[in-house]
Each structure stands twice: as C-alpha cells, then as structure tokens.
Amino acid sequence: MDNIVVATVGMCGTGKSVATNYIEETFKFKSIYFGGFILEEVKRRGLEINSANEKFVREDMREKNGLDAVARLAADRIDTYVHAGENVIIDGLYSFSEYLFLKEKLGNRLSLLAVHSAKQLRYRRLGAREVRPLTPGQVDERDYVEIKNIEKAGPIAIADFHIINNGGFLDLYRDIDAVLKKLVKKP
C-alpha cells in the first residue's frame, strides 16, 4: 500500500494526542486534529473556549449535520494529503459514523489505533493539564455523553490496533513503533 491514514481513537485523557504527535514527528505523517474543527467553530460562533462550549458545539454540529460532520469537514484536507502521497494521522476520530464515512472513502488505507488508559490515570492526566483541565466528575460526564450521544465507543471497539497507555512516554512510543512497523517503514 502506498500511503495510509491512521486515526487515533479513545476516551479523553488516554494519550491520543501524544500518540498522534509522536507518529507525526517520528514517521513524518501529516496530522489532522478533528477537535480542531470543533475549536474553530466555537471561535467562529464567538464563544469562549471551554469544556461546556466545546460540548455544546460538538453536539450541535453533529445534530445539525450528522454524526459524521467532522469527518466531512476534514475530507478535503485528507484527500489533499493522500493524493500528494502523504501518510496521514488523524487525532481523535470520534463517532462510528465518522469511521464509516472515512472507510467508504479510503477503504483499506484507513486503520484505527485505539489508545486506552486506566480511568484513575485519566482523571489525574485531565485534572493536571494546563488547557481545559477536567475534574473526575467532568471526565465521567464527558465519557457518558460521548459514548451515548456521539457513538464514540464503536470505533474504539473495532480498532485495528490497541495500545494500553498506563506507563511512561517511552513505553507508549515503543508500542506505537510496534504498530507502525506493521503499516509503514520508519523514515
């Protein structure tokens, strides 16, 4: 296969962005952050960037435009990279509908990489982050809403590859290397 698209999936705080950044830098993939489309829309609407507004916009966009709305917004950028012969890493594919949309467009070029972490570790990570920290209650609420309202569990369940990210960065990088070795050669 010439070039590929890998989408990271997982609940918030599992390390999807860390995995994405590592793949982008180490394997020279082009990166697309699906959450960035939500943040752009929050800003476009003149709202403050915070968890409540992100949740509102995320759900509103999908209610008005379908659960695959973000994948549709990203489609042109993905196509541009793929047609230029680039490998692509998607940070945070959320819904099963997004997966189905991209799978139809990309076929076997698309692989899902699920990143998992223990809940208590996710609480610590999300509570300590500098931008948009979350309390354990907010993490649970977000998990429930994302699973129930935006089909987040589907892509995680059917992912092609699964990584448990309960250790340090080097452990995560080693596990990513093992997965990517199956898909591409390291530049």
pLDDT tens digits along 76-111: 999 999 999 999 999 989 899 999 999 999 999 999
State residue 187's pLDDT score. Answer: 55
Residue 164, pLDDT score:
98
Q: Which residues contact 94 (CB under 8 A, 6 or more apart)?
A: 9, 34, 70, 146, 150, 151, 152, 155
The H or E element that residue 32 is part of is strand 30-33
Mean pLDDT on 139-162:
93
Reported as a single tens digit per residue, the pLDDT across 14-40 is 999 999 999 999 999 999 999 899 999
60 vs 54: CA distance, rounded Å: 10
**Could you give the domains of the chain?**
5-180 (3.40.50.300)
Distance of CA 39 to the CA centre of its chain: 14
pLDDT of residue 186: 56
In order of 4, 44, 124, the CA distances from 148 in angstroms are 30, 27, 24
Measured between alpha carbons, how far is 102 from 57 in angstroms, rounded to an integer?
22
d(CA 165, CA 172): 6
- To the nearest whole number, what is the mean pLDDT of the chain? 93
CB 61 within 8 A of CB 70: yes
pLDDT digits (tens, 9 = 90+) for 146-155: 899 889 999 9
| DSSP, res 129 | -
Q: In what order do the strands lie in the sheet with 110-116?
A: 30-33, 88-91, 5-9, 110-116, 161-164
